[in-house]
A and B are shown apart, each in its own frame.
Chain A
Amino acid sequence: MDFKLTPQQEALKKEFEDFFEAEMKNAPEDWVWGLEGLFNDVGWPFNVYMARKLAEKGWLVRPWPEEYGGCNAPMMEQLIFSDVIGYFCAPGVDPLGVGMIGPTLLAAGTEEQKREHLPPIAKAERFWCQGWSEPNAGSDLASLTTRAVKDGDDWIINGQKCWNTGAHRADWCFTLARTNPEEKRGKGLTFFILDMKTPGVSVVPIVGMDGSTHFNEIYFDDVRVPSRNIIGEVNGGWVITQTTMNFERSSVGVISGVLRALNELVQYCKETTLKGKPLIEDPHIRHRLAQLAIDIEVGHAMSYRCGWLQEKGDIMAAAAASCGAKVYSTELWQRTAFTGIEIMGLYGTVAKGSKRAVLKGQFENLAQITPGYKLGGGTSEVMRSIIAWVGLGLPRIK
């Protein structure tokens, strides 16, 4: 075994670090990490700025083939990139365009679809949102009821989607609709892509408990989509949702972002006296910080193993491991937020913007947004079920 990066990987990592360190100096004063940071009024222009910078460097879509602006970056390089961007809490990589529809098109799109849609993503000129969940179809996505009916060479879509991250910023949307009402569940669904400016598309914000508005509802009211915007086969949309396998899913970016938060929390504890006592002299606090550091190191090792399994093409092991990493990292994230606000005592409740806010109020905010991370992209419970079925071969009762 050898956990060292190769000299080439080290050099690359250094290059990434130098870039993000320099560019994050351009972040707006009250810029915060996470989805809110990507999509709110302060964050969005910076997100676009960073995306274009990354595109110029040729780093936005490194895993993609050269002809679409990438460099076929191997898995471990993707992991290193995610590790660094996570640590610097930097925006720029659209999780839906770069992270989801791009890989889906590469795997399942026609040549024409690739040529039309991949270059604008690679150049950070077109941003995407996902239209999958519905009010009554969350974890049980296949029960969705949005309908698409054929009309000549077009399809007419009607229905309601929700939890659409960044839909208010997105230029395009990828969605699932039922095209065969006779078929149940995954059968009879079709994967569509559509321009958000198409008549009949409307976006309504969903306000999070912290007041953030990165989630939305999307309403489709007689939305006309041409047949050429179907990815894969008509009624064959379900398999298309599962074609992004070869892209990094180690959750390393979450782990390194949590490390950054811990480092700031440790620094705060070193500098702060509360209730007449320096925080770091409290053995309880010392051990809570140490335990977070332990959890982060463990998570980091887990992420690199996930990447390694993916790089080796050990698909089943990688699937179970990355589900584990998703559960682990998002639970750790919330635990870190709680630890932070608990250590801060009354100050832990002060929101960003106040001169009394600690560490720009990021822990106060994290405690409110981290519950969402344990739900989005597959709930912790769905992840555990997949580990049980795929990783441990336990029976799945339908």
Chain B
Amino acid sequence: MDLDFTEEQDMLRNSARDFLSTECDKATVREIEEGEDGYSPEIWRKTAELGWQGLMIPEEYDGMGMGLMDLLVVFEEIGRNILPSPFLATVALGAPPIVEAGPEEMKKDILPKIAAGEAILTLALTEPSAGYSPDCIELKAEAKGDNFVLNGTKLFVEYASAADHMVVVARTKSGGDPADCITLFLVDSNSQGIKIEPFATTGTDKQCEVVFDNVSVPKSAVIGQVDKGWPIVEKTLKIATVAKLAEMCGGMQAVLDMSVAYAKERVQYGRPIGSYQAIQHMLADMFIRVFTSKNILYEAAWMAAEGMDCDAKLSTAKAWCNEAYKKVAEDGVQVHGAIGTTRDHDMGLYYRRAMAAFPTFGDTGDHREVVAQSLGL
């Protein structure tokens, strides 16, 4: 048993923390949030130079060949600092299906571009039904000659507006087991018939509606086998959930740190408010929530990284962290008082992300249901 990060991971964390605090201060975060693109191409280029985009891409495709625990470290720091970026969309949603099951030609073509920061990807999975289960996939792909033709609507596709390519999850057969008729395609975002429309959301992560109107893709764009794509989605969602949870835990830590620092300096009735028991106990509960969230995440992520059966553990972590971050953010604003409710204050950046993270990759109820089933209920 070894519950510490490795020295290399500590170094990675420190370098990520330094980089983000230098390159992406909160003024920059706000500027990016309010901009058209929702990310900074300059920071994107610099993170690629640091090797972040290629962190989990195998070395033979110009990546770093590192593991999920390393990715977790970077995402914790991203969550702590905040970096509006198609980073999660690219490294945790778009790239994993290709690494896992893409044909060799596709890997050789796209993975080095991702690692170099030259390609932005995302996953077009959810639809207007807004669920993550296979029965929610209705977008149709029909074989026609050497091509497939895609028709349907994807909704909540993050950073589709910035993406060069999308991994599209489509139904290639109807009837039977809903998980057994799903195929993944790598689709150029500029293909004819694709219409991308971003909309404003709490998390400012450029959620988009993507309409596919007779979009033709070659058979070589299939990732894995026809009709057998769902297990790839499941595996990808594990990586993405770990990344999102790490982001959430980093955010919680930031809220705790900010709130403690503020409670020490803000004086009312002649004393720092952090000397009052009402505030102290709120912060102590916040501490417990952050501490427990990180520990259950680390255990779940480790199991996922080791390839163990981790469905119930990961659902445990998401169900827990959803509620924890919500409460930590709520209390963080309360400790800061009225100033914490303003657009100018950093608290709101985290509060909004806590709200946005809650339904992403399954809300608390979804994950409780997974746990209920693991109990044999």
User: Which A residues are within 8 Å of any B CB, using their own CB?
Assistant: 1-6, 9, 76, 266, 269-270, 280, 286-287, 289-291, 293-295, 297-299, 301-302, 304-305, 308, 312, 320-321, 324, 327-328, 381, 383-385, 387-389, 391-397
Contacts and interface: CB of A to CB of B under 8 A. Distances in A.
A290 B280 CA distance: 31
Contact of A387 (B272, B287, B299): B287
B44 interface: no
B260 A3 contact: no
B344 interface: no
Interface in B257-292: 260, 263-264, 271-272, 274-275, 277, 279-281, 283-285, 287-288, 291-292
Nearest to A296: B316
Contacts of B260: 392-394
Contacts of B129: none
A388 B5 CA distance: 26
Contacts, number: 143
A298 B3 contact: no
B158 to A, nearest CB: 26
B292 A328 contact: yes
Classify the interface of chain A: helix, strand, loop or mixed: helix
Interface in B44-71: 69
Nearest to A4: B1
A301 B295 CA distance: 6
A297 B296 contact: yes
Given A3-B3, A5-B1, 16 more contacts: A2-B3, A3-B303, A270-B376, A289-B377, A293-B375, A304-B3, A305-B295, A324-B284, A324-B292, A384-B280, A392-B280, A394-B264, A394-B279, A394-B283, A395-B264, A395-B271
Contacts of B4: 1, 308, 312
A298 B289 CA distance: 10
Classify the interface of chain B: helix, strand, loop or mixed: helix
A96 B19 CA distance: 51
Contact of B274 (A287, A381, A395): A395
Nearest to A266: B375
Nearest to B263: A394
Interface residues of B, number: 43
Contacts of A395: 264, 271-272, 274-275
A274 to B, nearest CB: 15
B302 A321 contact: no
Interface centre among A299, A305, A396 (most CB of B within 10 A): A305
5 contacts: A2-B1, A6-B1, A286-B369, A290-B369, A385-B284
A178 B316 CA distance: 50
A287 B369 contact: yes
A301 B1 contact: no
B132 interface: no
